[in-house]
Amino acid sequence: MTVREAADLLLKARKVVVFTGAGVSAESGIPTFRDALTGLWARFDAQALATPEAFEADPALVYGWYEWRRTVVGRARPNAAHTAIAKIEAAIPGTVVVTQNVDALHEQAGSVSPIHLHGSLYAPRCSSCAEPATPPDGPGDEPADGRRLTPPACEHCGAPVRPGVVWFGEALPMDALEAAVAAAADCDLLITVGTSGVVYPAAEIPQVAARFGAPVIQVNPLPTPLDDICTVNLRGPAAEVLPELVLSLPPTAAR
């Protein structure tokens, strides 16, 4: 299937949802989770780092790992895929960006208020009273990826501060999930970019759009479980495929 077929869908669309995963930030140098050799879960144990039980058992291990992640992400810059998505948003005002990513590269590329389904590395909060905590200044001092770091104490109750991300077994932020489902149910095109589509309930978002009759374009170098619901599967890296797709938009708005 070709970029031309996808471009025809994009040109007709008035309400677009762009649903992104770690692959959209891969070409900014941020590792994905499940890519076979380079993904975070190939090197680290998700159960020991990305669950509430892990934080309870060893807050310094988990906090240190997330500070390393925040340093890596803080030094990254948006790539051509983030920029192309912001251009789609500028050209088609009814566009909603829904991301599973905890970086801020969509915002840095110019996307306005993307919906963050899995939280953010920049929104730490108290692990007990949930009060927001002040994010540390700057990109961090690059602790080694395994270095323990005692989390700061909450200013209100003294409990350890935790990363503001959604771990396995935790509910997604209700307002974000509801807004994403509503946008998917109401869109006339969904573009899914760089996600393996295996983590729920986020993976429902493209499926909701398809159930409500919207065509779905997928941008991913590899097949995913979402292939079957997609109208067009564009196999390739997002930073190559999306700029090509955006070339189909009217010149003034798209560039």
Query: CA 233 to CA 247: how far, in whole Å?
Result: 18
Instruction: For residue 182, count other CB atoms closer than 10 A to its CB.
Output: 12
Binding status of residue 246 toward Zn ion by CB under 5 A: no
Question: Is 120 one of the binding residues for ligand BJW (CB under 6 A)?
Answer: no
Contact between 133 and Zn ion by CB under 5 A: the answer reads: no
Which one, 35 or 188, has the nearer CB to ligand BJW?
35
Pick the stretch among 106-114, 182-190, 191-199, 207-215 that binds ligand BJW (CB under 6 A). 191-199
Beta bridge partners of 193: 20, 219
- The residue from 106, 116, 118, 156 that is catalytic is 118
Q: Interaction with Zn ion in 138-177: which residues (CB under 5 A)? A: 154, 156-157, 159
Question: In Å, how far are 95, 174, 199, 205, 212 from 187, measured between CA atoms?
Answer: 9, 20, 22, 11, 8
Give residues 63-102 in contact with ligand BJW (rule: CB under 6 A): 100, 102
| Integer angstrom CA distances of residue 213 from 201, 209, 234, 244 | 20, 6, 20, 25
How many chain residues touch ligand BJW (CB under 6 A)?
Answer: 35
Dihedral sign (CA 243, 249, 251, 252): negative
Active site residues: 118
Which residues fall in the annotated binding site for Zn(2+)? 126, 129, 154, 157
Give the binding site for Zn ion (CB under 5 A). 126, 128-129, 154, 156-157, 159
